């Protein structure tokens, strides 16, 4: 695996010089200052690329060129936005960058109810709590018919927990869900959020899939001509939330996606954290199945709980078997003669990072470095064992 590390640009307290010290050779970043849906111009791309190269690394993956909501909805000026997307692809290729991660999640990107959930050892983790999500939808946002998406058991628990919450706990929950997560959407107010959600009224899974298919049929030929590998990020969490359809969460969804356009440029970001939050996904088997179409790896581990909640565990612990996952990756790398870019995804906030200011949730330095180091050791052990 080629080790990479995510960098959020000049405002990121984790600087390129720090990333270099992790041993990663590749940087994963985006032009975060360009508004979603606008063209990435050559001069801007080149500036960031030069910075990364000057720090002794390469720009291994773009994460992400975001997909404008109008494209997801196939409404408004979506044709113009698709034209911009194509131009951005041509421009990055001209600068020698050929790997793009993106997602097709409506309104929200990844979603958590807790951004600083305290673990037993006093470090903190990201958490998705089903009961808190029900509180948000049913009592804070008051979405029509939200109750229908929850079991009696969850609703009952939600009612009791909500009645005991302090106003600052309520605010914290709302902020965590509406917070613009790193490198993705902006912070949203409840009113704007509701308006955005309302745009998806009546949009079914099939509608959204057909919009994704349309988008891919437009951009994949351009990606192919420019030797670019597109890698869709799965939905996180891998389930419908807030009444929004989510369409990249299972093997069936990935099968559909790959047949929209049969091209090596139409690939997957295999995020073991996102896909691993669903017990239906057998990750080592899926890695083997999609071997030719996995272009990027996000490695992390979530611990699933009985009621559908989960939290982000240590990279080698949690509900997914990281040993089997890394072994499957190493085997396909050997068989196909490739080296897949991977980044240690999310990490606990721990040690000095607990005091650090302006850190990006999930993207503190030390927690991710710990994950990277553990996975590096695991990979070495597996390789030696397989005598590769």
Active site residues: 233, 271, 298, 345-346, 363
CB of 99 to ligand DNO, least distance (A): 12
- Strands of 114-118's sheet in order across: 114-118, 124-128, 310-312, 302-304
- 165 Cβ contact partners less than 8 Å away, ≥ 6 residues apart: 135, 173
Binders of ligand DNO among 119-178, rule CB under 6 A?
none
Determine how many CB atoms are found less than 10 A away from the CB of residue 337: 6
Instruction: Tell which one of 4, 22, 29, 64 touches ligand DNO (CB under 6 A).
Output: 64
Cβ proximity to ligand DNO, 35 vs 337, nearer residue: 35
Q: Which range binds ligand DNO by CB under 6 A, 10-18, 99-107, 193-201, 281-289?
A: 99-107
Residue 69 in contact with ligand DNO, rule: CB under 6 A: no
Q: Which stretch binds ligand DNO (CB under 6 A): 101-109, 166-174, 329-337, 366-374?
A: 101-109
In the bound complex, what is the minimum distance in angstroms from residue 144's beta carbon to ligand DNO? 27
Q: Of residues 19, 31, 82, 101, which one binds ligand DNO by CB under 6 A?
A: 101
Residue from 362, 365, 366, 369 touching ligand DNO (CB under 6 A): that is 362
Cβ contacts of 10 within 8 Å, gap of 6 or more? none
Nearer to ligand DNO, 126 or 135 (CB): 126
Q: HSE, CB side, 13 Å, CA atoms: give it for residue 209.
A: 16
Closest CA to 270 of 312, 241, 239, 231: 231
Confirm or reject binding of residue 253 to ligand DNO (CB under 6 A). no
Minimum distance from residue 213 beta carbon to ligand DNO (Å):
18
267 binds ligand DNO (CB under 6 A): no
d(CA 91, CA 84): 10
- Which tokens belong to 296? 């990027």
Q: Report, in Å, the least distance between residue 384 CB and ligand DNO.
A: 30
Hey, which residues does 379 pair with through a beta bridge? none
Tell me the torsion sign for CA atoms 255, 261, 262, 265: negative
Asked whether 304 and 279 are in contact (CB, 8 A), the reply is: yes
Q: Which stretch binds ligand DNO (CB under 6 A): 100-108, 307-315, 324-332, 372-380?
A: 100-108
> Which range of residues in 97-105, 151-159, 160-168, 280-288 is near ligand DNO by CB under 6 A?
97-105
Q: Does 109 bind ligand DNO (CB under 6 A)?
A: yes
Residue 180 CB, nearest approach to ligand DNO (Å): 11
Out of 209, 233, 249, 291, the only residue in the binding site for ligand DNO (CB under 6 A) is: 233
63 makes contact with ligand DNO (CB under 6 A): yes
Distance CA 269, CA 248 (A): 11
Please tell me whether residue 29 binds ligand DNO under the rule CB under 6 A: no
By C-beta, is 150 or 363 nearer to ligand DNO?
Answer: 363
Q: Is 72 in the site for ligand DNO (CB under 6 A)?
A: no
Task: Examine residue 368 and tell whether it contacts ligand DNO (CB under 6 A).
Answer: no
For ligand DNO (CB under 6 A), the number of binding residues is 14
Please select the residue that binds ligand DNO; options are 4, 29, 103, 309, rule is CB under 6 A.
103
Minimum distance of ligand DNO from residue 102's CB (angstroms): 5
Q: How far is the CB of 183 from ligand DNO (least distance, A)?
A: 6
**Shortest gap between Cβ of 347 and ligand DNO (angstroms)?**
11
Contact positions vs ligand DNO (CB under 6 A): 63-64, 101-103, 109-110, 183-184, 233, 298, 345-346, 362
């Amino acid at each position: 695996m080629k080790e990479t590390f995510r960098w959020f640009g000049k405002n990121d307290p984790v600087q390129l010089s720090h990333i270099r010290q992790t041993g990663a050779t590749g940087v994963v970043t985006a032009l975060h200052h360009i508004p979603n849906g606008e063209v990435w111009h050559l001069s801007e791309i080149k500036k960031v690329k030069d910075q990364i190269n000057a720090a002794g690394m390469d720009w291994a993956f773009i994460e992400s060129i975001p997909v404008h909501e109008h494209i997801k909805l196939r409404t408004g000026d979506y044709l113009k936005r698709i034209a911009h997307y194509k131009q951005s692809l041509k421009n990055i290729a001209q600068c020698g960058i050929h790997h793009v991660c993106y997602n097709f999640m409506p309104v929200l990107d990844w979603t958590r109810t807790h951004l600083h959930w305290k673990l037993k050892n006093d470090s903190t983790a990201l958490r998705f709590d089903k009961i808190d999500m029900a509180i948000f939808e049913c009592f804070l946002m008051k979405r029509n018919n939200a109750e229908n998406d929850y079991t009696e058991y969850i609703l009952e628990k939600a009612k009791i927990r909500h009645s005991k919450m302090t106003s600052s706990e309520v605010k914290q929950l709302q902020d965590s869900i509406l917070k613009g997560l790193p490198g993705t959407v902006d912070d949203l107010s409840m009113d704007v959020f509701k308006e955005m959600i309302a745009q998806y009224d009546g949009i079914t899974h099939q509608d959204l899939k057909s919009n994704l298919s349309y988008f891919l049929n437009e951009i994949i030929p351009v990606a192919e001509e420019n030797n670019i590998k597109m890698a869709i990020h799965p939905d996180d969490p891998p389930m419908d939330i807030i009444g929004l359809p989510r369409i990249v969460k299972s093997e069936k969804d990935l099968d559909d996606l790959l047949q929209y356009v049969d091209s090596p440029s139409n690939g997957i970001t295999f995020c073991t954290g996102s896909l691993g939050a669903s017990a239906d996904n057998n990750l080592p088997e899926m890695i083997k199945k999609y071997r030719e179409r996995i272009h990027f790896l996000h490695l992390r581990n979530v611990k699933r709980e009985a009621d559908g909640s989960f939290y982000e565990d240590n990279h080698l612990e949690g509900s997914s078997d990281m040993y089997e996952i890394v072994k499957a990756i190493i085997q396909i790398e050997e068989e196909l003669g490739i080296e897949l870019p991977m980044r240690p995804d999310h990490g606990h906030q721990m040690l000095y990072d607990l005091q650090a200011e302006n850190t990006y949730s999930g993207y503190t330095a030390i927690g991710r470095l710990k994950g990277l180091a553990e996975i590096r050791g695991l990979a070495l052990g597996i390789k030696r064992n397989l005598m590769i």
